Amino acid sequence: MYSIHRFALPIAFPRQLLTISCHTGIYLSQIHRLNKLPALIDPTAPYSIVSIDPITADFDPPAHPEVFSTLAPLPAAMRLEPLVNVHKQRRIADVIKSLVAGQHMASRVQFGIDRKLFQKCLRLRGLDSVYLERALAMYTD
């Protein structure tokens, strides 16, 4: 028996086939973790939170505008706005590229269909809403 991430597989697959199996939950957990990073960064205070006014759709003003007081002032039509967190976007892009690469590798593998196992899988039933809500409540942040 081989195991991947504490999951035991009852069928002995060749080790190379195990490396290309794609588990969506792994990618979703990475995206969920990266989504906690701020999307916008205040250029005057990188560790402060930038929020958006829901009515006017304007960003919060910079926390410390005096940081740029030695520079030439911006034109009247422009104002200092937060920066996009490029680090977050690149990390999310890496996760997506990894997911797509795994899908491409998995699509090249051909498995024979075990008809008995396939029929058993077709007869599997999903959880009803009560049990599903209970299971989801166990994993809330």
Task: Give me the tens of pLDDT residue by residue for the chain, a chain 141 residues long.
Answer: 333 434 444 444 444 444 444 467 788 889 999 999 999 999 999 888 898 888 998 898 899 989 988 989 889 998 888 999 999 999 999 999 998 888 888 788 887 888 898 899 888 888 888 888 888 888 876
Does residue 98 lie in a domain region?
A: yes
Residue 61 placed within a domain:
yes
128 assigned to some structural domain: no
In a domain, 70, yes or no: yes
Q: Please check whether residue 50 lies inside any domain of the structure.
A: yes
Q: Is the pTM of this model over 0.75?
A: no
Give the residue numbers spanning the domain of 103: 3-113
User: Positive or negative, the Cα torsion across 90, 24, 16, 18?
Assistant: positive
Query: Is residue 130 one of the residues assigned to a domain?
Result: no
Residue 66 covered by a domain = yes
- The 3 state secondary structure assigned to the chain is CCEECCEECCCCCCHHHHCCCCCHHHHHHHHHHHCCCCCEEECCECCCCCCECCCCCCECCCCCHHHHCCCCCCCCCCCCCCEECHHHHHHHHHHHHHHHHHHHHHHCCCCCCCHHHHHHHHCCCCCCHHHHHHHHHHCCC
Count of domains forming the chain? 1
